[in-house]
Amino acid sequence: MGIFNDIISQLNDFMWGYILIAVLVVLGTYFTFRTRFVQFKYFPEMIRVLKDPATVSAEGKRGRSSFQAFTVSLASRVGTGNLAGVATAIAAGGPGAVFWMWLIGLIGAASSFIESTLAQIYKVKDQDEYRGGPAYYMERGLNKRWLGILFAVIIIFTFGLVFNSVQSNTISLAFDQAFGFDRFWMGIILAVMTAAVIFGGIKRIAIVSQIIVPIMAVLYVILAFIIVIMNFGEVPAMLSLIIKNAFGLQEAVGGGMGAAVMMGIKRGLFSNEAGMGSAPNAAATAAVTHPVKQGLIQTLGVFTDTILICTATAFIIILSGAYTSPDLDGIQLTQTALSAHIGDWAPAIIGGAIFLFAFTSIIGNYYYGETNIEFIKESPTALLIYRLAVIGMVLFGSIVELSIVWNLADLFMGLMALINLAAITLLAKIAMAALRDYRDQRKQGKDPVFYSDSIPGLTGIESWEPKNRTEGQETK
């Protein structure tokens, strides 16, 4: 197992050190300028469209509301990356990793807008729901089903299996440290709870996410805010340390600028998933009047994850000084840091928080795999095997060595991101045309509505009606 872990680690170093970081930064910057800084300019619009009710199509089919699709994707985003992942980045890369985490979140938000808008444009009907994502826009937009199948296989393995083992691993470690709870029995409990939710389908997943995600996120940010206020005098020095360490001006813990950049961007992408191709699977389930609406909402999810929740964890850790201990990493570092601020009952708080954060990630991750299995072939047998594999990996992750699951997660996350980024770069002009259509309608004071012929020459569309047919139905 040690040799296998070393090989995976070396592959990660090559991919992240020489390829993926450059691609993420260059394309994120490119999309930022192409969209005219959509992630900043349209921030008030993101809040407005988040409150849109679910809309019904001409056939009477109803998808998820914008808010439900937002919380399903946020359920996947907000997980161990926000607590354990941030801690790992700071332990290995120093406080400067936080700066690079912010940067990849801010510029990556534009990539998230492009991919989620495309997912809405190319979504398909699935009984009384919608489904879609990168595999679907690769097939329908690029006319490359083989590429869609390749992506589908990777995301099924990455999110449904590997990432879910990461989530359960962090939960079991947190409960072991906080309560001395046996990791195997924690795995059994998680496996049973996972089975209860995933056999209920996307409706149950959406309901659970809609309830748990907003509550846990708000409470955690409030706790971090209180800690920052308690240590307000140290905040300027903390911010200065982050900037200095980010550019190698002050060495700390993990070393110089290279470690800070790599760990900040790697853990930032693991957490916010901008450009990775995961969130579009949730974005496609929403019933909205215009694809850009859901693109904006999913962009808001990147800000919520990185700028609010990841920053909350980072401030808790850096203000405590616990990151200087070479024996602490992952969720144990976060628990120790919080204990330094609020006392011995902190591990119990983190244990509860990580349970909610990671469990909602498990069910969100599961859905990403399910919708991609349906893309390859609608098979009840395949779906049953996948569900059983997910439950098995949840149990496996609870007892396996931490470094193995994190290295596997990093490797397949990188492969997913490279394939998806290539696809959205080729299809970016479609998302840009949709943004121009949305912008023009808003300037006219309208609530934007999208049609299959709103973009000249658009093909591969199933879930959007042509304007003339829709107007004819309204006339009747």
Over residues 387-434, the pLDDT tens digits come to 999 999 999 888 877 667 667 777 777 888 889 999 999 999 999 999
Q: Which amino acid is at 400?
A: V
pLDDT value at position 462? Answer: 87
Q: Are 76 and 209 in contact (CB under 8 A)?
A: no
Token pair of 386 as six digits:
């996948």
Give residue limits of the domains in the chain. Answer: 2-467
CA dist., res. 53 & res. 38, Å (int)? 23
Cα→Cα distances 364→75, 100, 123, 130, 247, Å: 6, 26, 18, 16, 35
Q: What are phi and psi of 60, to 5 degrees?
A: 85, 10
pLDDT value at position 138? Answer: 96
Rounded to a whole number of angstroms, the distance between the first and last alpha carbons of the chain is: 68
pLDDT value at position 114? Answer: 95
Which one, of 210, 208, 203, lies nearest residue 126 by Cα? 203
Q: Are 86 and 267 in contact (CB under 8 A)?
A: yes
Long-range CB pairs of 229-232 (<8 Å, 24+ gap) are: 230/341, 231/319, 231/341
Q: Which amino acid is at 70?
A: F
- pLDDT tens string 142-193: 999 999 999 999 999 888 888 888 888 878 887 887 788 888 999 899 999 8
Which residue do the tokens 């009952």 mark? 345
pLDDT value at position 220? Answer: 78
Q: Write the burial class of residue 23 (CB in 10 Å: 0-12 exposed, 13-18 middle, 19+ buried).
A: middle
Token pair of 372 as six digits:
């991609």
pLDDT value at position 58? Answer: 38
pLDDT value at position 150? Answer: 94
Global pTM? 0.83
CA 23 to chain centre: 18
Give domain 2-467's CATH number out of 1.10.3210, 1.10.3470, 1.20.1740, 1.10.10. 1.20.1740
Which one, of 294, 297, 420, 373, lies nearest residue 126 by Cα? 373
Q: Write the burial class of residue 399 (CB in 10 Å: 0-12 exposed, 13-18 middle, 19+ buried).
A: middle
pLDDT beneath 50, residues of the chain: 55-61, 253-255, 474-476
Q: Write the burial class of residue 184 (CB in 10 Å: 0-12 exposed, 13-18 middle, 19+ buried).
A: exposed
